[in-house]
Amino acid sequence: MTRPLGVILAGGLATRMGGGDKGRLPLGDGTLLTHVTARLAPQVDAMALNANGDPARFADTGLPVLADSIDGYAGPLAGVLAGLDWAAEQGATHVVSAAADTPFFPRDLVERLLIAAQRDGTGIALAATLDPQRGAMRQPTFGLWPVALRDDLRAALESGLRKVVLWTDTHNAATASFLPAPHDPFFNVNTPDDLAQAEQLLETAP
């Protein structure tokens, strides 16, 4: 398999941060979004940004901006679908999604997702944090998605489905588990306190 394309999911409303584009929040010498793009770019052949509203506000990123094709802020699956439709236009077979508010995700995310999908013989793989007590805690905004399932996903969204794992479970999604050491690699910024914690983590993140 050739390397997949990447889609950064930034289509949420960021209500707990007071609205706006959460990925634009400052972190270290950049923003949440610049940290995410720096981690994802070496792992994929090309990237796009899933965001709604005026795409011109992201012109400085140099990334294609993909709006949801499903109305009403239908959640991360709508962003995945936008990425799959874009990937189909590029002739790609798979997309890997990453959230715009999760700046420390693994640098081997794509490799591990591909290995998990091949191991289990499935087209979809989700990342997970391996919790010692609770087992694998899936991270549904970080996944490998086959372009071949985009019409199936579109039909599911149009029928009202919104929860990622309800759809991925119907396709026997594989899981790629990551250890939470020295911190949860899928720590995401939802509140101002989270952003302050991200600044602290930035000093220790490998």
Residue 18's pLDDT is 43
What does each C-alpha distance from 192 to 88, 116, 133, 139, 179 come to in angstroms? 37, 34, 28, 21, 25
Q: Which residues are annotated as a binding site for GTP?
A: 9-11, 22, 50, 68, 101
Residue 14's pLDDT is 47
Q: Which residues are annotated as a binding site?
A: 9-11, 22, 50, 68, 101
Q: Which residues are annotated as a binding site for Mg(2+)?
A: 101
Overall fold of domain 5-202: Spore Coat Polysaccharide Biosynthesis Protein SpsA; Chain A (3.90.550)
Residue 12's pLDDT is 58
Residue 49's pLDDT is 97
- Strand 125-131 with 174-178, pairing: parallel
- The β-bridge partners of 139 are 127
Q: Are 107 and 40 in contact (CB under 8 A)?
A: no
Tens digit of pLDDT at every position of the chain (206 positions):
579 999 999 975 544 444 568 899 999 999 999 999 999 999 999 999 999 989 999 999 999 999 999 987 789 999 999 999 999 999 999 999 999 999 999 999 999 999 999 999 999 999 999 887 887 899 999 999 999 999 999 999 999 999 999 999 999 999 999 998 788 999 999 999 999 999 999 887 65
Residue-wise pLDDT tens digits, 44-103: 999 999 999 899 999 999 999 999 999 877 899 999 999 999 999 999 999 999 999 999
Residue of 1, 168, 167 lying closest to 92 (CA atoms): 1
